[in-house]
Amino acid sequence: MMKMTAIVFWLLNLLLALLLPGVINKTKAFFAGRRGLPWLQGYYDFWKLLHKGAVYSRTTSWVFRASPVIGLACLLTALALLPLNGGQALIHFAGDFILFCCLLALMRFFTVLAALDTGSSFEGMGASREVWIGALAEPALFLCLTGVAAATRQSSFSGMLSSSSAGWQQSAPALILLMASLFVIILAENARIPVDDPNTHLELTMVHEAMVLDHSGPDLGFILYGAALKFWSMAIVISGILLPLRFGGVWLDGLLLLLGPLFLGVVVGVVESVMARLRLARVPQLLVAASAFAILGLILLLR
């Protein structure tokens, strides 16, 4: 039964992930007094791209073609590590959060390789920035998840998310610091303002977008879907910890968990509406601050 619902919710989450960009866009449009893109624009784009042919530059190798597929596969696996039904994940074992981080890193590694494979100066710049940001965001992510594991005394996502209410009762101050840090990391990892501007058309300022300029057709579709899944899965982690609503019913808990990412989408939309993007040289300061928060949280837990 548990296994079955885990599969059902895994599929349901895969289906809903593309709604997240729509929620962010609608929120931003609301703040700007506009109507905004349709809620389902993410799906329309994905569908359109799947039906297009892809163009490959002669200078690229198999790495360029493999990268979108590998990226998507990483995310499909990463999502399966999360207890989407509010109970136990499809795949769960002690220390699975480390695998989660590694899968995200693997996806980044291949995206960067594909970007370098094109030989374009824009993609090279994007790759260099991505690695630069990643090198600062990944340790912070590890620290955060370690902190959550320490606070909940659990070593797998399934345990961490289902016993986060106990964590809140015992060490709320530490968890607040960890979640603040995790929120910044989510913004950085998913190329949102203030770290990156997903709306920009300016190649010289892009980070994530610059790396995928040469991808087209289904490959680009996979990348867009992969990006949405990455955002969605990280949103599940933070909202699962922040809102420890567990009623014991598998269906209810799983559906409640689905609301988390959508709510986070609204929060991100608000953040993007009230502030400008940081100057690129200032981004490390933000990420170091996130690490500092995570370390502080860990110290509070381990004292």
Partner 1 sequence: MATKIPLRVYNGRSQQMEDIPVFSEQAFREQILAAVRSGARLAALFARETGRGNFKLTALLAQNAGGVLSVLETVVGKTYQSLTPECPQAAVFEREIFEQWGVLPEGHCWLKPLRFHGGYSAGGKAGGCENGPDFPGVMDYYQLAGSEVHEVAVGPVHAGVIEPGHFRFQCLGEEVLHLEISLGYQHRGVERVLPGGPDKRTIHYMETLAGDTTIGHALAYCQLHEALAGCRVPARAQALRAIALELERLANHTGDLGALAADTGYLPAAFFCGRLRGDFLNLTASICGSRFGRNLICPGGTLHDLRADQIENIQRSLAATVKDVKTAVRLLWNTPSVLARLEDTGRLRRKDCEHLGLVGPAARACGLERDVRYEFPAGMYTVTHIPIATWHTGDVFGRAYVRWLEIQRSAAFVQEQLLSLPVGPVRRETKKTNACQMAVSLVEGWRGEICHVAMTDEAGRFSRYKVVDPSLHNWMGLALAMRSQQISDFPLCNKSFNLSYCGHDL
- Binding-site ranges for partner 1 (CB under 8 A): 28, 31-34, 121-122, 124-125, 128-129, 193-194, 197, 199-205, 272-282
Closer CB to partner 1, 130 or 253, in the complex: 130
Q: Kindly provide the b/e burial profile for residues 172-208, where b requires at least 16 CB atoms within 10 angstroms of the residue's own CB.
A: eebbebbbbbbbbbbbbbbbbbbbbbbeeeeeeebbb
Closer CB to partner 1, 280 or 289, in the complex: 280
- Residues 184, 187, 189: CA angle, nearest 5 degrees: 105
Closer CB to partner 1, 128 or 155, in the complex: 128
**Do the beta carbons of residue 125 and residue 45 sit within 8 Å?**
no
Considering the complex, what minimum distance in angstroms separates the CB of residue 152 from partner 1? 34
Considering the complex, what minimum distance in angstroms separates the CB of residue 204 from partner 1? 5
Considering the complex, what minimum distance in angstroms separates the CB of residue 43 from partner 1? 23
Q: What are phi and psi of 53, to 5 degrees?
A: -85, 160
Closer CB to partner 1, 58 or 279, in the complex: 279
Closer CB to partner 1, 121 or 170, in the complex: 121
Considering the complex, what minimum distance in angstroms separates the CB of residue 138 from partner 1? 20
Token digits of residue 280: 């690129």
**Do the beta carbons of residue 138 and residue 105 sit within 8 Å?**
yes
Q: What are phi and psi of 283, to 5 degrees?
A: -60, -45
Considering the complex, what minimum distance in angstroms separates the CB of residue 26 from partner 1? 13
Q: In angstroms, rounded to a whole number, what is the distance separating the alpha carbons of residues 297 and 175?
A: 7
Closer CB to partner 1, 279 or 303, in the complex: 279
CA 170 to chain centre: 28
CA distances from 280 to 124, 145, 202 (A): 16, 26, 14
**Do the beta carbons of residue 19 and residue 42 sit within 8 Å?**
yes
Considering the complex, what minimum distance in angstroms separates the CB of residue 23 from partner 1? 16
